[in-house]
């Protein structure tokens, strides 16, 4: 049975080009196996057309395919197994008659060790088996130890990954909390500034309204006096002789109140600066109040010079001109 199995393997591992056992076997993409030199020579003839095909199935490849060399190792292993497991032609007397030839890596009988395998490195098959079992056991133990080491390393890596994930989550939560506090602080500072601006605006507007009311009253008073003077001019023009222009003009203008000065531009400034931990509000300079808490009025309006005598014309015309020029 062993011979048939080996014969079948040999038939499967023959090159379809040279019809010999595969030498340096390679596998092409379609799955067929050839000797490396045989397939190279076959494809060399097809280099001109740049179209390469399989000698068995005629599958076409463009460009020239890359061959696989994994089959070479398999062929070498099969050869070793065939040599090792090839039965001896002699009959074994008993289990103790089995001898293992290390030089040829095969089991032989005692007679073969004295004839064909004379001078080879031979040991009993049981001893070789025990040695192989020990070596395989040591290898398996080493593999198991490596597996355990890798499992421990994997656990440590998983633990480290969990630590990194937890640390990242904590950092994100802390940053979110800090930004939330900062937004709350900014909102509070914005509200405080708005309140301060509103209060200062109200105070300034009240002052402006008071000044507007005073100016409006003065305008009304001046208008009323102007109307009275106009009536007086008409009466004087009709009834009385004209007084000296200078004296009359000075008397009339002494009755007029001094006009108020223009209200000083009043505004306030709020500067913001960031401290290390808080916002600091700094109100700007307040406008200086005038005497009595109001606007600074001008000193007194200088009297307008009045000519000593009015030029010619009728008496009514002279009186009217004197009053108006005064």
Q: What is the residue extent of each domain of the chain?
A: 1-86, 240-257+305-326
- pLDDT per position as a tens digit, 65-112: 777 777 777 766 666 665 555 555 555 545 556 788 888 888 877 777
Q: Which two tokens stand for residue 29?
A: 């993409």
Average pLDDT over residues 195-220: 94
- pLDDT per position as a tens digit, 148-198: 999 999 999 999 999 999 999 999 999 999 999 999 999 999 999 999 999
Choose from 18-22, 116-120, 181-185, 304-308 the range with maximum mean pLDDT.
Answer: 181-185
Which residues, 6 or more positions from 238, have their beta carbon under 8 angstroms from its beta carbon?
316
Least confident of 118-132, 165-179, 209-223, 300-314: 300-314
Q: How far is Cα 66 from Cα 113, in angstroms, rounded to an integer? A: 46
Q: How far is Cα 22 from Cα 181, in angstroms, rounded to an integer? A: 79
pLDDT beyond 60 at 138:
yes
pLDDT beyond 80 at 303:
no
- pTM score of the predicted model: 0.31
The CATH H-level (homologous superfamily) assignment of domain 1-86 is: Zinc/RING finger domain, C3HC4 (zinc finger) (3.30.40.10)
- pLDDT per position as a tens digit, 19-66: 877 788 888 888 888 888 888 888 888 887 888 888 888 888 888 877
Q: How far is the first Cα of the chain from the last one, in angstroms, to the nearest whole number?
A: 153
* Position 122 confidence tier, pLDDT thresholds 50, 70, 90: confident
* Position 213 confidence tier, pLDDT thresholds 50, 70, 90: very high
pLDDT, residue 298, reads 43
Mean pLDDT score of the chain? 72
Q: How far is Cα 250 from Cα 246, in angstroms, rounded to an integer? A: 6
Q: How far is Cα 169 from Cα 158, in angstroms, rounded to an integer? A: 17
Of 19, 46, 49, give the one whose Cα is nearest residue 34. Answer: 19
Distances (CA, A) of 58 to 37, 41, 50, 54: 19, 16, 15, 5
Least confident of 37-41, 118-122, 197-201, 252-256: 252-256
Q: Which two tokens stand for residue 271?
A: 């500067």
Of 45, 50, 82, 54, give the one whose Cα is nearest residue 63. Answer: 50
């Amino acid at each position: 049975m062993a011979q048939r199995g080996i014969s079948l393997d040999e038939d499967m591992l023959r090159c379809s080009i040279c019809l010999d056992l595969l030498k340096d076997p390679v596998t092409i993409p379609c799955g067929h196996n050839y000797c490396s030199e045989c397939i190279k020579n076959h494809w060399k003839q097809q280099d001109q057309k740049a179209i390469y095909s399989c000698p068995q199935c005629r599958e076409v490849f463009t460009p020239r395919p890359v061959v696989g060399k994994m089959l070479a190792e398999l062929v070498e292993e099969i050869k070793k197994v065939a040599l090792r497991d090839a039965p001896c032609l002699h009959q074994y007397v008993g289990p103790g008659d089995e001898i293992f030839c290390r030089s040829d890596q095969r089991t032989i009988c005692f007679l073969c060790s004295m004839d064909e395998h004379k001078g080879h490195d031979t040991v009993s098959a049981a001893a070789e088996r025990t040695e192989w079992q020990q070596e395989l056991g040591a290898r398996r133990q080493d593999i198991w130890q490596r597996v355990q080491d890798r499992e421990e390393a994997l656990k440590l890596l998983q633990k480290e990954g969990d630590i990194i994930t937890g640390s990242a989550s904590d950092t994100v939560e802390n940053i979110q909390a800090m930004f939330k506090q900062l937004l709350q602080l900014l909102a509070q500072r914005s509200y405080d500034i708005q309140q301060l601006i509103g209060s200062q605006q109200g105070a300034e507007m009240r002052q402006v309204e008071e000044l507007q009311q005073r100016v409006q009253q003065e305008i009304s008073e001046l208008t009323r006096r102007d109307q009275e003077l106009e009536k007086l001019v008409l009466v004087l023009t009709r009834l009385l002789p004209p007084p000296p222009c200078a004296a009359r003009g000075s008397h009339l203008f002494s009755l007029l109140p001094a006009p108020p000065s223009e209200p000083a531009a009043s505004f306030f400034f709020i500067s913001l600066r960031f401290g290390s931990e808080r916002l600091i509000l700094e109100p700007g300079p307040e406008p200086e109040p005038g005497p009595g808490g109001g606007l600074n009025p001008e000193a007194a309006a200088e009297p307008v010079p009045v000519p000593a005598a009015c030029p010619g014309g009728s008496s009514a015309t002279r009186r009217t001109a004197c009053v108006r020029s005064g």
